[in-house]
Homo-oligomer: A and B are copies of this chain.
């Protein structure tokens, strides 16, 4: 029971942390805001996490872990290379799309703190490696470079998703198609 309760508390705090950090960024987030959102007191947060920084890292690690697991699961449903690329692209853009009300989440600093930097890098490494593996298994040359390029293109649409008020899910799907097409065949002249 205690364990369960403890787990609930941790989860509630991590949820609230992800929410508030995403909305306001690391520096503009106050521990007390997270506590309020989580429905606990400031002191309670320090029972489960040793510092604001650690809370930030744990919240993000959980998020990243969940995303990779989800991605792996979804991509597994497809068989052709193009389908898999479309799936990866769609999943990445959907992440942005879901959070389009709180764009700062993806524009925030991953500040100087080595642990916070490591946290982001580890995720990106996993993500890239996942895409690299896919590329390699398809016989793509230079799989590392191709993976970077593919992911970079997708990243580049987040501004649109966040700041173009007309961007809807239909446009998202068009973008997915466009990026995969460009990746596979290069730019198209009229």
Known: A104-B112, A108-B109, A121-B163. Is A154-B152 also a contact (CB below 8 A)?
yes
Which chain B positions have C-beta within 8 A of A178?
Answer: 142, 145, 149
- B-contact 0/1 string along A16-31, CB 8 Å cutoff: 0000000011111000
Closest chain B residue, CB of each to CB of A146? B187
Q: Name A150-183 residues within 8 Å CB distance of B.
A: 151-157, 159-160, 163, 175, 178-179, 182-183
Which chain B positions have C-beta within 8 A of A138?
Answer: 189
User: Are A148 and B152 in contact (CB-based, < 8 A)?
Assistant: no
Copies in the complex: 4
| CB of A132, distance to nearest CB on chain B (Å) | 13
| CB of A22, distance to nearest CB on chain B (Å) | 11
Q: Is A4 an interface residue (CB 8 A)?
A: no
Residues of A participating in the B interface, judged by any CB pair closer than 8 Å: 24-28, 104, 107-112, 117, 121, 124, 135, 138-142, 145-146, 148-149, 151-157, 159-160, 163, 175, 178-179, 182-190
Instruction: List the 5 closest A-B pairs by CB distance, nearest first.
Output: A152-B156, A109-B109, A186-B186, A185-B186, A27-B27
